[in-house]
């Protein structure tokens, strides 16, 4: 075990806001990078205004709190001349810039990749957007509106999520942002790898639509080859696979192959079904999951709890698991053992619970990160430390609204 985290010594200027960008830079911070979150002095990241009312009546900026742990806070007005000059000086002393504005925004401010590269040829410039920028590849849809729901809808995920006779259903988490965030993390790390060899930086251009289209690979290829478009609720029925209601919730299960079917019939005490022509082989059981298997299972399970049902499946050597909600995750021993759920006493916000870093490295001791910064909390120390600005100069810049 060494004490060095992989990204120690790497400095990140994080211009991103709300979800996709901050989720990505959270992993940079957790792995040792110095992430300086730069926000406009007039209000900062919109995430600061997403509050949850706690049981003891406090409004807590929970989204900013979990996304920005371990980062420094710098307030800087990028529209003022003095602010622009300070940002340019910071770029000269940094390794990575991350942004998720709509594609034209930073170029308009004079901070497109080409401009920053002229200041610092080693800079890595990571963009997250709905449809991508147009400097590496053309992007005809570049100026379309883009957010999570649109990425899920256009990327092909939503169309195949839902019941056979129901509407397309969005996934309950912001897949568009979260998936783009992890791809952007990988892309940035690839650019660091490339820079270590060549000394030059590059633009990393991540599009939410591209990322979710990559997840639709199998459906796209099957459609091309077979001429048949996969539809909601049917594709997964090649094997019997799905959820059913029990006394206190839902359980998921699957059956694959004759030996599982035999154990299943024994478990529910329905040996009469073993050779039933409508329920053999696998594909027949899959096709009748909704109409035959699920109703049968729900009748069998109506007086049994989720835990009892999972235990019965497990005793029969059949795979099953509870459908868990957020309260289940909070209580889960496995997640706590792996530091995926952690109690943290935030000096400002009080007791909080955060999910951890799913990238578990044997050579890295995970640290409890510092709490998310207040707006501009580290402005003076960053500008003094990195750029040598005097306290008087900083006070004047505060006065003028630059900081």
Judged by CB under 8 A, the chain residues 91 through 130 that form the site for a copy of itself are 113
Q: What is the footprint of a copy of itself within residues 274-313 (CB under 8 A)? A: none
In this complex, which beta carbon is closest to a copy of itself, that of residue 2 or of residue 399?
Answer: 2
In this complex, which beta carbon is closest to a copy of itself, that of residue 330 or of residue 395?
Answer: 330
Which residues is 37 bridged to in the sheet?
A: 14, 73
Q: What is the footprint of a copy of itself within residues 338-357 (CB under 8 A)? A: 338-341, 352-357
Q: What is the footprint of a copy of itself within residues 165-224 (CB under 8 A)? A: 166-173, 175, 178-179, 182-183, 185-187, 189-194, 196-198, 200, 202-207, 209-211, 213-224
Q: Does 79 bind a copy of itself (CB under 8 A)?
A: no
Residue selected from 259, 295, 319, 391 as contacting a copy of itself according to rule CB under 8 A: 319
Give the separation between CA 92 and CA 123, rounded to whole angstroms.
8
Give the separation between CA 18 and CA 197, rounded to whole angstroms.
33
In this complex, which beta carbon is closest to a copy of itself, that of residue 163 or of residue 278?
Answer: 163
Determine how many CB atoms are found less than 10 A away from the CB of residue 360.
11
CA 317 from centre of chain: 33
In this complex, which beta carbon is closest to a copy of itself, that of residue 74 or of residue 260?
Answer: 260
Mutual angle of helices 379-387 and 391-399, in 10-degree steps: 130
Q: Does 388 bind a copy of itself (CB under 8 A)?
A: no
Residue selected from 104, 311, 315, 361 as contacting a copy of itself according to rule CB under 8 A: 361
- 76-103 CB burial, b ≥16 within 10 A, e <16: bbbebebbbebbbbbbeebbbbbbbbeb
In this complex, which beta carbon is closest to a copy of itself, that of residue 305 or of residue 357?
Answer: 357
Residue selected from 254, 280, 305, 370 as contacting a copy of itself according to rule CB under 8 A: 254
Strands of 20-112, DSSP E: 34-39, 52-53, 59-60, 72-75, 96-99
Instruction: List the Cα angle 123/22/147 in 5-degree steps.
Output: 105
Shortest CB 277 distance to a copy of itself, Å: 24
Q: Does 330 bind a copy of itself (CB under 8 A)?
A: yes
Q: Is the peptide bond before 246 cis (omega within 30 degrees of 0)?
A: no
Shortest CB 311 distance to a copy of itself, Å: 12
Tokens 């649109």 sit at which residue? 150
Tokens 């007039």 sit at which residue? 42
- Please compute, for residue 20, the number of CA atoms within 13 A of its CA located in the half-sphere on the CB side: 28
Q: What is the footprint of a copy of itself within residues 13-72 (CB under 8 A)? A: 27, 31, 52-55, 60, 62-63, 65-66
In this complex, which beta carbon is closest to a copy of itself, that of residue 226 or of residue 399?
Answer: 226
Cβ atoms of 138 and 209 closer than 8 Å: no
Shortest CB 234 distance to a copy of itself, Å: 10
For residue 275, indicate whether it is catalytic. no
Which residues is 59 bridged to in the sheet?
A: 53
Tokens (6 digits) for 383: 């500008």
Residue selected from 81, 227, 269, 277 as contacting a copy of itself according to rule CB under 8 A: 227
Shortest CB 399 distance to a copy of itself, Å: 33
Question: Choosing from 45, 61, 177, 205, which is the catalytic residue?
Answer: 177
Pairing state of beta strands 59-60 and 52-53? antiparallel
Binding-residue total with a copy of itself (CB under 8 A)? 140
Considering only the stretches 86-94, 140-148, 279-287, 383-391, report the one whose residues sit in contact with a copy of itself under the rule CB under 8 A: 140-148
In this complex, which beta carbon is closest to a copy of itself, that of residue 220 or of residue 387?
Answer: 220
Shortest CB 394 distance to a copy of itself, Å: 34
Largest Cα separation within the chain, whole Å, is: 87
Cβ atoms of 43 and 344 closer than 8 Å: no
Active site residues: 177
């Amino acid at each position: 075990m060494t004490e060095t985290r992989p990204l120690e010594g790497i400095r990140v200027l994080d211009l991103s806001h709300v979800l996709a960008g901050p989720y990505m830079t959270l992993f940079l911070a957790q792995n040792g990078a110095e992430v300086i979150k730069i926000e406009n002095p007039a209000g900062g990241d919109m995430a600061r205004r997403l509050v949850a009312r706690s049981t003891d009546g406090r409004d807590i900026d929970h989204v900013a709190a979990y996304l920005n742990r371990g980062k420094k806070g710098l307030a800087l007005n990028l529209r003022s001349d003095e602010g622009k000059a300070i940002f340019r000086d910071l770029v000269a002393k940094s390794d990575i810039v991350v942004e998720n504005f709509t594609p034209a925004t930073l170029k308009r401010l004079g901070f497109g990749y080409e401009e920053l590269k002229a200041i610092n040829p080693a800079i890595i410039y990571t963009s997250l957007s709905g449809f991508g920028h147009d400097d590496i590849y053309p992007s005809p849809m570049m100026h379309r509106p883009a957010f999570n729901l649109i990425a899920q809808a256009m990327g092909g995920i939503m169309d195949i999520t839902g019941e056979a006779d129901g509407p397309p259903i969005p996934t309950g988490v912001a897949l568009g942002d979260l998936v783009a965030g992890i791809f952007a993390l990988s892309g940035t790390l690839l650019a660091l790898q490339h820079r270590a060899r060549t000394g030059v930086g590059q633009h990393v251009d991540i599009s939410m639509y591209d990322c979710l289209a990559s997840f639709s690979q199998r459906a796209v290829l099957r459609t091309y080859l077979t001429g048949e478009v996969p539809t909601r609720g049917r594709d997964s029925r090649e094997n019997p696979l799905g959820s059913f209601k029990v006394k206190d919730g839902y359980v998921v299960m699957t059956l694959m192959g004759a030996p599982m079917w035999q154990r299943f019939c024994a478990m529910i005490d329905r040996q009469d079904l073993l050779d039933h022509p409508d329920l053999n082989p696998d594909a027949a059981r899959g096709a009748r999951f909704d109409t035959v298997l699920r109703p049968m299972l729900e009748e069998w399970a109506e007086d049994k709890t989720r835990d009892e049902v999972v235990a019965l499946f497990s005793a029969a050597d059949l795979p099953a698991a509870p459908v868990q909600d957020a309260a289940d995750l909070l209580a889960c021993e496995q997640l706590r053992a792996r530091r995926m759920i952690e109690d943290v006493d935030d000096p400002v916000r009080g007791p909080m619970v955060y999910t951890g870093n799913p990238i578990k490295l044997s050579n890295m001791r995970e640290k409890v990160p510092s709490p998310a910064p207040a707006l501009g909390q580290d402005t003076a120390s960053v500008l003094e430390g990195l750029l040598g600005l005097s306290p008087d100069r900083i006070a004047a810049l505060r006065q003028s609204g630059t900081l």
